[in-house]
Amino acid sequence: MPSSRRTFLQAAAAAMPLASQTAGRPPNILYLHSHDTGRYLRPYGYATPTPRIQRLAAEGVLFRRAFSAAPTCSPSRAALLTGQCPHQNGMLGLAHRGFAMTDYRRHMLYTLRDAGYRSILGGLQHIADKPERIGYDELLGAKSNRVADVAPAAARFLEGRPKGPFFLDVGFFETHREFHPPTPEDDPRYLQPPVPIPDTAATRRDMAGFHASARVLDQGVGQVLDALERSGLAGNTLVISTTDHGLAFPDMKCNLVDAGFGVSLIMRGPGLFGGGKVVDGMVSQLDLFPTLCDLAEVKHPAWLEGRSLLPLLRGESPEIHDEIFAEVNYHAAYEPKRAVRTQRWKYIRRYSELGTTVLPNCDDGPSKSLWLEHGWRQKALPREDLYDLVFDPTERRNLAGDKASAEALADMRGRLDAWMKRTNDPLLSGAVPLPAGAKVNRVDGISPGEPIN
């Protein structure tokens, strides 16, 4: 086919109304999510053993600059599912430690239900003390949240050829610690630890465990996608593959650098969601809810904070955001901080009085032990960070005290202040109170496994 004709047909397909591309039927939604994976997957250029996720990206759309609203587990997931930042939806900490959303009826399943969708939970949810509290129409009842139990349960559901539009939520424990035992294919001699971590025998072994868990995750994703193909429903199903936040290594998970709240996001489905496209525009997981509203042709709830991804996919604009925000309140311990990111700059503001890293907020492991052995506990943290993401993409050189960056610092401070006021951030009134019944570690502790208050 001549290139000019191919270009014309591709442009025409992108301009078609979405409904015509799906034969007037709202697409099924398969939401696949992992734990603590960040972007450390093959489609993002890492030598991680995830061929099925790579294939999904090649068949769909890969978002290179996707971010969660929080680098912590329950707040991130609750934000995606409500379209609200954590301090707006109420999920300020970990669900299994007594934190909860203010109103579970803001979960997207209720808006989708009004559009005729049936909702099914098939694994990890981590936004409520028990899944029944959320309101799914069906719970698949997997014995655990691990791939070995969740993937077969989800596959059986799909092989039953469910009728009518469905929202199937499939959550995997992997790649959370403790990692799966490395196989011979996960040889630590030939692995590289993630960027903040020094290259030692111990940290390579640590990374081998992550690789082993990622391999299992990929197999689970493949098992579910194979079942979707066998069911005959793949052609009218939007697959969303993402994670909650960065890897469970020091200076990643629970941190507001890109390695903390940068996430994988791959979408494959009818219409605009195919062809191996890559999107470089900044997007937030808050954008998924309004996007699904557009696909289901339902009104956006008034509380949504994100924007539909469809203008990016239609080529109408290279960006839908000129700034995105993220936050931490509680994880294992209290560590209030906020961040704003543009394409060029990152600004982080810390509200903790400790002045050093809140160590219980880093999961235990060999890489953490190495940092502790070399004085991590005594390493001071500044009140503010400013990073130039063009010249310092790994965010190692803080420019907050650099006179040449004073204009950028003032701009980013203003952006964050305006957002905090606009969203009624509780930090504007002082420390965020611990909800009744919630349990957290001491901020001056070392491990999340220590006794909690």
pLDDT above 50: residue 381? yes
Structural domain ending residue among the three candidates 298, 315, 332: 315
| CA pair distance 298, 167, nearest whole angstrom | 15
Q: What is the pLDDT of residue 16?
A: 36
| CA pair distance 218, 222, nearest whole angstrom | 6
DSSP 3-state of 118: strand
If asked whether residues 330 and 311 sit together in one domain, one would say no
DSSP summary character for residue 330: E
| Beta carbons of 62 and 417 less than 8 angstroms apart | no
Quote the mean pLDDT of the chain: 94
Q: What is the pLDDT of residues 259-288, one digit of tens each?
A: 999 999 999 999 999 999 999 999 999 999
137 lies in a domain? yes
In the sheet where 334-341 sits, what is the strand order? Answer: 324-330, 334-341, 345-350, 384-388
Structural domain ending residue among the three candidates 292, 315, 338: 315
If asked whether residues 382 and 415 sit together in one domain, one would say yes
DSSP 3-state of 141: coil
If asked whether residues 266 and 177 sit together in one domain, one would say yes
Structural domain ending residue among the three candidates 315, 350, 383: 315
Question: What does each C-alpha distance from 174 to 110, 218, 251 come to in angstroms?
Answer: 27, 10, 20
Q: How confident is the model at residue 23 (pLDDT cuts 50, 70, 90)?
A: low
Residues 6+ apart with CB under 8 A from 412: 340, 342, 345, 346, 347, 386
249 lies in a domain? yes
- Judged on CB neighbours under 10 Å (0-12, 13-18, 19+), 381 is middle
305 lies in a domain? yes
Q: What is the pLDDT of residues 122-164, one digit of tens each?
A: 999 999 999 999 999 999 989 999 999 999 999 999 999 999 8
- Judged on CB neighbours under 10 Å (0-12, 13-18, 19+), 148 is middle
**CATH code of the domain covering residue 148:** 3.40.720.10
- Give me the DSSP letters along 59-103: HSEEEEEEE-S-SSHHHHHHHHHHTS-HHHHS--S-GGGT---S-
| Adjacent-strand bridge partners of 61 | 267, 277
Q: List the Cα angle 72/100/326 in 5-degree steps.
A: 35
Q: What are phi and psi of 360, to 5 degrees?
A: -60, -15
State the total domains in the chain.
2
| CA pair distance 14, 22, nearest whole angstrom | 13
Across the range 309-320, mean pLDDT stands at 95
Residues 6+ apart with CB under 8 A from 264: 37, 38, 39, 41, 43, 44, 53, 66, 241, 242, 243
If asked whether residues 378 and 252 sit together in one domain, one would say no
If asked whether residues 281 and 338 sit together in one domain, one would say no
If asked whether residues 278 and 331 sit together in one domain, one would say no
Q: What are phi and psi of 70, to 5 degrees?
A: -160, 140
348 lies in a domain? yes
Question: What does each C-alpha distance from 429 to 85, 357, 432, 437 come to in angstroms?
Answer: 18, 23, 8, 22
23 lies in a domain? no
Across the range 368-382, mean pLDDT stands at 97
If asked whether residues 422 and 299 sit together in one domain, one would say no
Q: What percent of the chain has pLDDT over 70?
A: 95
If asked whether residues 182 and 331 sit together in one domain, one would say no
**CATH code of the domain covering residue 332:** 3.30.1120.10
If asked whether residues 183 and 256 sit together in one domain, one would say yes
| Beta carbons of 35 and 242 less than 8 angstroms apart | no
Across the range 315-341, mean pLDDT stands at 97
313: its two tokens: 């996919």
Domain range for residue 424? 324-429
Q: What is the pLDDT of residue 15?
A: 36
179 lies in a domain? yes
Q: What is the pLDDT of residues 70-124, one digit of tens each?
A: 999 999 999 999 999 999 999 999 999 999 999 999 999 999 999 999 999 999 9
If asked whether residues 304 and 236 sit together in one domain, one would say yes
- Judged on CB neighbours under 10 Å (0-12, 13-18, 19+), 138 is middle
Q: How confident is the model at residue 166 (pLDDT cuts 50, 70, 90)?
A: very high
Question: With the CA atoms of 163, 167, 168 and 174 taken in that order, what torsion angle do they form, in degrees rounded to the nearest 10?
Answer: 160
| Adjacent-strand bridge partners of 431 | none
Counting DSSP H helices and E strands in the chain, the numbers are: 13, 13
Question: What does each C-alpha distance from 300 to 66, 121, 289, 297, 307 come to in angstroms?
Answer: 21, 23, 8, 9, 10
386 lies in a domain? yes
Decide which of 97 and 451 is more confident: 97
Q: What is the pLDDT of residue 9?
A: 37
DSSP summary character for residue 377: G
| Adjacent-strand bridge partners of 240 | 31, 267
353 lies in a domain? yes
Q: What are phi and psi of 277, to 5 degrees?
A: -70, 155
If asked whether residues 155 and 108 sit together in one domain, one would say yes
Across the range 185-214, mean pLDDT stands at 97
Query: pTM of the entire structure?
Result: 0.94
| Nearest to 320, CA basis, from 10, 63, 38, 31 | 63
Q: What is the pLDDT of residue 452?
A: 86
pLDDT above 90: residue 21? no
Q: How many residues does the chain have?
A: 453
If asked whether residues 261 and 409 sit together in one domain, one would say no
